[in-house]
Structure 1
Amino acid sequence: MRMVDLIEKKKHGQELSEEEIHDIIQGYVANQIPDYQMSAFMMATYFQGMSEKETAILTSEMMHSGDTMDLSGIQGIKVDKHSTGGVGDKTSLAVGPMVAACGAPVAKMSGRGLGHTGGTLDKLESIPGLSVYLSEEDFIKQVNEIKLAIIGQTKQLDPADAKMYALRDVTGTVDSIPLIASSIMSKKLAAGADAILLDVKYGDGAFMKNVEDARKLAKTMIAIGDHLGRDTRATISNMNQPLGNAIGNSLEVKEAIATLKGEGPRDFTELCFEAGETMLLMTKMADTREEAHQKLEAVIKDGSALATLAKMVEAQGGDPSYIMHPEKFPETKEVITVESLKTGYIEDLEALNLGLVSMKLGGGRATMDDQIDHAVGLVLKKKVGDHVEAGEPLLDVHTNTGLSEELKAEILSAYHIVDHEVATPQLIEEILE
């Protein structure tokens, strides 16, 4: 069937067959289907959606459009974790070592940050010498030896997604649930893990703006995992304010290190334990959440979680002394405190605006070619529910380029301060299995 006929079929809301979806993906990767036809097909998908079966087939075809990782050489049930992205989200840097220290193999492929959300790879690369690129053989060897590796995705993995995402970005089809779900899951499945935990975020600083859409995306991805024989579960978490206190690459690494010492922010620590418990259940390293929680507490208390992160850094060419002595990370030229202009309670804290401020300081990318300053960023002193006096610090700005009045105004506008008391928001909405 011609591509135009398949576009017509989807435009009228009809279900495509496995053969038809195969022809679309294979034809597009082979440059036999032009961008304008693929754009039309994705816009038809945006408006008409896809069935569970279609979405699973699309994901499988994208997954098999290039190389796939064979992780059968890793002993045990291999687990990967994926976050849909948010401001201050450094969860993998803490929960990965925690779970690995409990004996579960964590084989993780991560991405880079673009815009206001920082990527795990960029955070790791703030550690001198660390490489996020390993051969498949070295990746398997490292996970077998120390139970943890976090690496970047190769260009040979899921080329269909790379082409389709670039096109979605410029054709207004990014926010389609079937296209988002197939994009995330095709990469995760191609990376070879047996079990996948998804952290699906919603709110101002997240891709999904409300909890209903986040739940719909999570259920779609779980259904894909079920169709393709992978244990897939999801946490729905609130990103209406930054996660933890640190925003910025090395600042977030330092906060992850503090959390592995049992000294992290309450909300970030809560998310790490919830995610870690689920991952230990998925890998059969614990039978109940209570048992999993106790194991995670134990590896923080005895220092083995922190030691696991240091071992991973060393195995990937980085300097492990930065993990044991985070004061070695370079400081910025200035740390400028922004103080509150009024007294009251913080009712709202716009994560997106603060993420954009960090990006403008040099901590993120507006385009993929931008260079990152790993040292810059923000450290929050007050969050939603906190009381603040006029003249009291709201946050510290770590900067090598000063702080313009414009950026200071953006920071102050992110804080909404009211006269009445405000409850601390619930971080984790639910866990879907």
Structure 2
Amino acid sequence: MLGAMSSSQHDAVDIIRTKRDGGCLTDDQIDWVIDAYTRGDVADEQMSALAMAILLQGMEPREIERWTAAMIASGERMDFSTLSRPTADKHSTGGVGDKITLPLAPLVAACGVAVPQLSGRGLGHTGGTLDKMEAIPGWRAELSNDEMLVQLEEVGAVVCAAGAGLAPADKKLYALRDVTGTVEAIPLIASSIMSKKIAEGTGALVLDVKVGSGAFMKTEADARELAERMVALGEAAGVRTVALLTDMSAPLGRTAGNGMEVTESVEVLRGGGPADVRELTLALAQEMVLASGVEGAAEIDVEQVLDSGAALELWERMIAAQGGDPAAEIPRGEHVAEVTAEESGVLTAMDAYQVGLAAWRLGAGRARKEDPVQAGAGVRWHATVGERVEAGQVLFTCHTETAERLDRGVETLAGAVTLDPQAEPFTRSLIIDRIGR
């Protein structure tokens, strides 16, 4: 028989109203709603409404800390203490062309640090690391905890999906935010990232917090707030945490799209690739090595390790360990269209959001959480910010596996670049600031 509601029970609608009206949620309310949503007692549409209320009204630091703790408590916590080497991980808040995880994980592992890189799928106009890796024939994202530990010990790096037991509340909420316009909520971004990373058990964490048109954080002030919140959450949980604020006003590298970004990442591991991808890979690798506390960390030259080929060799072992063929041909969409420059000049701006949206419309991303993505779809740009281009020069090449998607991809790129006939070529700096000890 149903009795009166006890003090430990709550009503989802009351919680939504509290946050909608600008109130603070109690610890008990937060614990209940996260647990009930994970179990399916709070419906997707109710959590969607709460997420929107959080986006619009924000959360106090105490609420964010409790929300993060409740997400962690929704599942298991991993333990890497049995490994023979220290652990470090990296998380990016997402940006167009951000394939840094791919060259970074094997590079840091080649420096003697174990890298448990638990990654996600595409979120809005930015690509997901797992979607990119799945462009490699045979590669599998799903590993058991035991398989992950063995690979970390024997190879040194693993890129895989977070297990269903690790912050399951986040797994549900992450997919929901993607399709409800609530990705940008700073409290939800901070708690989503840090709940996974703290539950994951890594000893050190380096955060790449993107700023600009192609990032979720459009302003430096918002990015700084997010970075400071995440560093505080990590340090409070005993994880050595550092954040870099990096520029995402223009897309990273020269490609956006799953298979195309894998190919570009391998170029970086071979000692080439775009200068900006190499620069950011090296900067994050140095931070991860130092934060890990691995023996002799201060003397390790990550650039020398990259150029030695050791990271490439480790990449090949990492791919093979997860069933992939590192020598296999990466898919590329057979339907192609080009966008050319209408005038000559220096490319002073490239709208990262428009480029990401074009890749998404070509088939590289998903509109609903159950949608498939194309391995061969995406955009390649042949000039980047600071370079001079001539009228008629090809600026973008669009690829897709679905011919009818081409026109929308091309239309999206119209006006994505700004050309200044009077400007001189220049080089932009990617790293804006560093936050943490």
Q: Tell whether the structures are fold-level matches, with TM greater than 0.5.
A: yes
Deviation at 1:244, TM superposition (A): 0.4
Q: 2:152 aligns with which of 140, 143, 161?
A: 143
Q: Do 1:56 and 1:227's aligned partners in 2 also have CA atoms closer than 8 Å?
A: no
2:10 maps to 1:3: yes
Q: Which amino acid aligns with 1:389?
A: E
1:365 paired to 2:366: yes
Mapped to 2, the partners of 1:337 and 1:166 lie a distance apart of 33
Determine the structure 2 residue equivalent to 1:315: 321
Aligned to 1:351: 352
The answer to whether structure 1 residue 192 and structure 2 residue 201 are counterparts is yes
Gaps of 5+ in 2: 1-6
How far apart are 1:145 and its partner, in Å?
0.8
Q: Which residue identity is paired with 1:126?
A: A
Give the fraction of aligned pairs with identical amino acids, expressed as a percent. Answer: 42
Offset at 1:112?
0.8
Is 1:431 matched with 2:434? yes
Structure 1 residues 310 and 353, CA, compared in 2 at 3 Å: closer, same or farther?
A: same
- Name the residue aligned to 2:305: 299
Report deviation, 1:33.
4.8
Say whether 1:128 aligns with 2:137.
yes
Q: Quickly say closer, same or farther: Cα 1:132–1:406, change in 2 above 3 A.
A: closer
Contact 1:280–1:286 at 8 Å: present in 2 too?
Answer: no
Change (3 A) 1:373 1:235: same
Instruction: Supply the distance in 2 between the matched residues of 1:408 and 1:24 (Cα, whole angstroms).
Output: 43
Q: Match of 2:287? A: 278
Q: 1:94 to 1:39 in 2, by over 3 A?
A: closer
Structure 1 115/164 Cα, relative in aligned 2: closer, same or farther at 3 Å?
closer
- What secondary structure is seen at the aligned counterpart in 1 of 2:414? helix
Which residue identity does 1:314 align to in structure 2?
Answer: A
Q: Is the 8 A contact 2:357 2:412 kept in 1?
A: no
Query: How far off its partner does 1:329 sit?
Result: 2.7
Which residue in 2 is equivalent to 1:158? Answer: 167
TM-score by length of 1: 0.89
Name the structure 2 match of 1:418. Answer: 420
Partner amino acid for 1:413? G
Report the Cα offset of residue 141 of structure 1.
0.7
Is the CA contact (8 Å cut-off) linking 2:179 and 2:369 kept in structure 1? no
Kindly indicate whether the alpha-carbon contact (under 8 Å) linking 2:398 and 2:406 is maintained by their aligned counterparts in 1: no
Q: Distance in 1 between matches of 2:18 and 2:178?
A: 24
CA distance in 2, matches of 1:332, 1:172: 29
> Within 5 Å, which residues of 2 pair with 1:174-323?
174-285=183-294, 291-292=299-300, 294=301, 296-322=302-328
Report Cα offsets for 1:358-384 as digits up to 9, x if no partner. 222222222233332212322211111
- Tell me the SS of whatever aligns to 1:413: coil
- Once residues 156 and 362 of structure 2 are traced to their aligned partners in structure 1, the CA distance between those partners, rounded to angstroms, is 36
Contact kept? 2:209, 2:246, Cα under 8 Å: yes
5+ residue gaps in structure 1? 323-327
CA, structure 1 residues 357+224, in 2 after alignment: closer, same or farther (shift >3 Å)?
same
Tell me which residue corresponds to 1:325. Answer: none
Task: Give the aligned residue type for 1:88.
Answer: G
TM-score, normalized by length of structure 2? 0.89
Q: 1:411 Cα shift?
A: 2.0
Question: Residue 4 of structure 2 corresponds to which residue in structure 1?
Answer: none
CA contact (8 A) 2:335 2:406 kept: no
Aligned in 2, Cα 1:388/1:37: closer, same or farther, shift over 3 Å?
A: closer
Q: Which amino acid aligns with 1:407?
A: G
For residues 129 and 36 of structure 1, the distance between their equivalents in structure 2, rounded to whole angstroms, comes to 36
The residue identity in structure 2 corresponding to 1:152 is A
Q: 1:421 to 1:57 in 2, by over 3 A?
A: same
